[in-house]
Structure formats: structure tokens, C-alpha cells
Structure 1
Amino acid sequence: MNWNELLRLPATLLAILAAIILIVALVQLLTARQHVHDHRPFAAAAHSLLMLIFVVLAVLIGALAMSLRGYRFLSEEIPVVQIDSRILTPQRWALTLTWPDGATRQVMLAGDDFQVDAIVLKWKLPAMLAGLPPLYRLDRISGRYDDASQEMTAPRTVIDFSQAGQGDLMDLKKQWPDWLPEVDTVFGSAAFLPLVDGGHYSVELMHTGALVARPDDVTQQRIGQPLGD
């Protein structure tokens, strides 16, 4: 199994694999104890060594499962989220977020625009040649005001989408940079568009790591002058 195939396994499957390996390590421990009772020290030592190898392997796979939680794979342009907007009062919006798997979430934002942020992790050339794909994690969506002075004084709304926990790759890179030498860079990418009543937007992530937000044709007409594709 190459790196690309390994990373495409869901984190839950990796956790299950780690648990199975721990069970195998336990079997090796019990076998080693039996050999000790039978006065077979060399066989006991061999099974003890196998137990240690399986324990280390289980820990590494478990750590990988925790590190990959919340990340998705960035090998091509992929849809991140669909956004439908409805105005409540001036500069107050109800948004319906729809993910590619069909899951939805309702959020409230204040401002004139929405902004989506993601965290992208890219590998150095040797790891990329080995098939290790770039990763991304959707981080947050926030409201944004067109007037910079209002941005400093008006109410701010930020919805956190971070799913990373302890052992997240980004945190590990900050705390122990020498442990992850193949990580080239971790950077943020963001995109924003004006909100309109009845608007529909698609947010995608390009293979370069850049987020792109696009309104549909009807929404574009309501926005008026395009801000750029």
C-alpha cells in the first residue's frame, strides 16, 4: 500500500486497524509468558520483540488516524460547500450550508459578505513524488463588512468548522518541526462574496490550494458588478 492509498482510508478504519494490531500484540505477550513458564527463553524473547513491534506500529497508525481527522484530500478542484442566503434584517443573514455528502447546517451571519477560510497542508517534493497528496481542512465561515470602519465596531460573527483534535498535523508541525520534515508549508486560504437575498454560491478548492467562491447566474445578476471569478 502506497502513501496515497493509506491516506485515503478514513480515520475510523485506521483506528480499527490500530486496535486489531494491539490485539495481535496482546496475543504475542500471552505467548511470550507461556514460553517463560515453559522455560523457553529464546522463544519468549522473540515473541516479546514481536509484541513491541506491533505496539509501536499500532501507536503510529493511531497517531496518523488522529492527525488526519478533519482533513480531506486535495488532488484536483473539489467542491467544499454550497451556500444559500436569506436576509433577515439589514446586514443580518440566515445561511444554509450544504456539504458534498448532503449534510446541511443553518448559521446566522452579520455583515455584507460571507468569507470562507480553509487550512491547506502541502508536502515537499520527495513526499509528493511518493504519492502523498496535499490536504485541506475547512476552518471557518464569518461575516464581513464592506466598510472597513464598520468592520472595527460592528458585531462580528464567526462559525468554527475546525474538526482537528490533539495530534493535528498543523499543531504537530508548530510544536515539533523536526518531526515532520516532509511538510513544506501550512497556509490559510480564503474567499468572500457579497450576500444577496435568495443567493446561491458554490465554494471550491483548486489544486493550487486556493479557495474560489462563485455565485450562480441569478445571484451574479443580483450582486451587480462582478468582483472577479
Structure 2
Amino acid sequence: MDWSALLRMPMTVLLILAVVFALITLVQLVALRQHLHDGHRLAASWRALLCLAAFALTLLLAGAGCALRGYRLLGEEAPVVEIDARILSPQRWALTLTWPDGSTRQLQLAGDAWRVEAIVLKWKLPTLLAGVPPLYRLDRLSGRYDDPAQEAQAPRTVIGFGEAGAFDLLDLKRQYPRWIPEIDTVYGSGAFLPLVDQGHYSVSLMRTGALVARPDEATERRIGQPLGD
């Protein structure tokens, strides 16, 4: 069941009804003015009541529509990167990263799992509900060992995605916070999954600013297999 489509439909209907009642409110205002001009006070009173009722319904429908739109938007996910893994030797992996624009990057990683981290810029609530998505910048990809002792001693792999000297909106926010007042917060978000040979993983960003990592069905089955199978 497509819940996003179900939420989008009542949102659209409610907003259309809000526009309809807004037009009714304008019509009643014109009629109210005419009755007042003609001295028909009783008829003007009824028009005033109808005008207030239509305006109240306009606000109620518009508020409900915007509330549903906000929840739908917060539930959407934007693709960030696809990761394909191939084993080279125990705890040594070749990864291929594919971005939504089709560009790719190949690299090698040490560990039992991969971890991707991003810096997320989240907007304040009015801007977020208006449909402006969180901004993010991939910060690094690293290897992760299952054994904490090995994590502390074994060679680790950390690949950064930042470009030295590049213009960065997040740095601008830190240096001049008053220039961009609609920014709510800047924070880090990360996700990791176990590495398996021929594994395929998808990383996406939710409207809440959280990174989500998922294996495909075949990869999930391999992750669930006991070691050595």
C-alpha cells in the first residue's frame, strides 16, 4: 500500500476545499458590503455570520491540509548513494559507490562493516513544512570492525568526501549564524551495515535528517548466513 499517495490525496482535497471556502468568504464579504450600503441590517447580519463560518472553515481546512502535507514530507526519503561490495581477502573489501547522478567512485576498505557519515543541515519547522528539504553533505566513509579490541588496534580505513577550500554553506552558518536565520541545527548522522561479498546497499536521507542504510534482499540473506557458509 502506498501510504504517501494516500496522504497526498486528502491533503490535495483539503487544500482545494480551503480555496473554495476562501472564494465563498470573498463572495459573502461583497454581499455583506452591498447589504450594509443598502441599509439591510438583518440581511447583513446573516451575511456576516456566513462570512465568519466560511472563513473559519477556510482556516480549518488549510491547517489540516498543511498538517498532512508536513507529515507526508517528513516521511519521504531522498537517495544518497548506492554501495556495491566485493571481497578481496578477509576483512579487505573493494567498494563501488554510485551517486544518484550516475557518477561512481571505487575504493578499498578494511573491516567487517562499512559506515557512512554525513553532515545534515535541518531547517526550522515553518520552512520544513513548506517543503524545503534538509541539506546534507557526505562527510566520510570508514571501515568498522565487529571486535572493539580490533577496532582499537587494527588498521582502519577512512575516506573523506570534502574538497579542500571549497565553499561550504555549513561553514558559513558557523561563522555568520545571523545570515541564515532559518537554519535550525547542523549535526552529524551516520549509518552502517555488515559487509558481505557481492553485497548491494542503498543509503537514503529522511526528511527528519536521519541517514538510513538498507541491503537488498540477496544481501540481507547473505548477512543472515552463519560465517563459513
Displacement of 1:101 after TM fit? Answer: 1.5
Moved more, 134-143 or 188-197: 134-143
SS in structure 2 opposite 1:197? coil
1:171 to 1:212, Cα distance in 2 relative to 1, 3 A: same
How far the C-alpha of 1:127 sits from its partner, in A, is 3.9
SS of the aligned residue for 1:149 comes to helix
Alignment-derived partner of residue 222 in structure 1: 222
Residue 177 of structure 2 aligns with which residue? 177
Please give the alpha-carbon distance, in whole angstroms, between the structure 2 residues aligned to 1:130 and 1:164.
33
Q: Secondary structure at the match of 1:171?
A: helix
Could you tell me which residue of structure 1 aligns to residue 119 of structure 2?
119
TM-score normalised by length of structure 2: 0.61
The two structures, once aligned, show a CA RMSD in angstroms of: 2.2
**Counterpart residue identity of residue 123, structure 2:** W
Change over 3 Å in CA distance of 1:166–1:95 after alignment to 2: closer
| Secondary structure, aligned partner of 2:219 | helix
SS at match of 1:156: coil
TM-score, structure 1 normalization: 0.61
SS of the residue aligned with 1:181? coil
Structure 1 SS opposite 2:133: coil
Contact 1:75 1:133 in 2 (8 A): no
Using the alignment, how far apart are the partners of 1:152 and 1:216 within structure 2? 30
- Contact (CA 8 Å) 2:97, 2:106: kept in 1 or not? yes
Write the distance in 2 (CA, Å) between the matches of 1:75 and 1:135: 16
Structure 1 pair 76–108 and aligned structure 2 pair: CA distance change class (3 A): same
| 1:75–1:134 CA contact under 8 A, matched in 2 | no
The residue correspondences of 1:58-137 to structure 2 (distance < 5 A) are 76-128=76-128, 132-137=132-137
Q: Runs of at least 4 residues of structure 1 off by over 3 A?
A: 125-133, 163-167
1:32 equivalent in structure 2: none
Name the CA shift for 1:75/1:222 in 2 (closer, same or farther; >3 Å): closer
Q: Which runs of 5+ in 2 are unaligned?
A: 1-73
Match of residue 158 from structure 1: 158
Contact 1:84 1:200 in 2 (8 A): yes
The whole-number CA distance in structure 1 between the counterparts of 2:167 and 2:125 is: 24
Q: What is the Cα deviation at residue 214 of structure 1?
A: 0.7
Question: What's the secondary structure of 1:220's corresponding residue?
Answer: helix
Q: How does 1:170-209 map to 2 (within 5 A)?
A: 170-209=170-209
